[in-house]
Structure 1
């Protein structure tokens, strides 16, 4: 796929993933409630994946975050812990995740949470994010990223 000016191809992202600071305004909302908002985020870039944005826990309304028993393991980052979002009568199981004890060189992710854009309204600056296909990956697709993106049917072997 051809990239336009100011676009990034996820095919150019590295493997293992690269973690970098993100200063744009990132936000997560459930209905009219702001669950998280930051200009001090982290952006994880991995081949064939849209970026995943991580929020410092200090910029998350933790009263809406409740532990979920689900755990998964990433060979690079370590064990992921999942979190439910509970906002009023809305319960969004496993809508966020974190790496409580990340492996090197991802130690900067300690104390940060990521959110699935398919389960809440996620924004980068003023742009609403599209969710990465499939239920496992939590990449944030914006107008600045081009695919093809892992997660669609038939892409598990990429």
Structure 2
């Protein structure tokens, strides 16, 4: 595997290569919004960011931040070596349905208990996600749920050639 060279960090930025492994959870007071079908489906200023080496942050919003009726539970789970077993939801709003666009850890592993009543959203599956008004770009690859903003620099896992990072 070639050695990864972190991108330069500018003022007010953080490098994903300074994030820990295993990941850590930190509270955030940034305004986080999710839109689907032209509607605001979730908004919160009391979220958590999960920070893991090589990944942009994944934001977890309280379940109460989601509009009534937009979360539709679906079958199937996945397992994260750090956070435990994830359950999934389709998001539905404005005549649009985003399959498996949100997930939660109903019984999170030790150290991740604070995200137990929170949900993450896959930015590429919805119309838009924003952090303090800045449009989020989805983490490359379609597998990970990282939120790329100008605040973080990579390179980020998920793109071509990053499998072994």
TM range (shorter): over 0.9
Q: Runs of 4 or more off by more than 2 Å in structure 1?
A: none
Question: Secondary structure at the residue paired with 1:118?
Answer: helix
Structure 1: segments with no counterpart, 5+ residues: none
1:69 aligned residue (71, 75, 96):
75
d(CA) in 2 for partners of 1:148, 1:109: 26
Give, in whole Å, the separation in 1 of the partners of 2:105 and 2:150. 28
Give the whole-Å Cα distance in 2 for the aligned partners of 1:25 and 1:115. 15
Match runs of 1:1-158 below 5 Å: 1-120=7-126, 121-158=128-165
Cα distance 1:134–1:122, how it changes in 2: closer, same or farther (>3 A)?
Answer: same
Please report how far the alpha carbon of residue 69 of structure 1 lies from its aligned counterpart in structure 2 after TM superposition. 1.5
Contiguous gaps of at least 5 residues in structure 2? 1-6
Return the offset for 1:62: 4.0
Number of residues of Structure 1 aligned to a counterpart in Structure 2: 158
Give the alignment's TM-score, normalised by structure 2: 0.93
SS at match of 2:124: coil
* 1:89 Cα deviation after fit: 2.3
Q: CA RMSD in A?
A: 0.9
TM-score by length of 1: 0.97
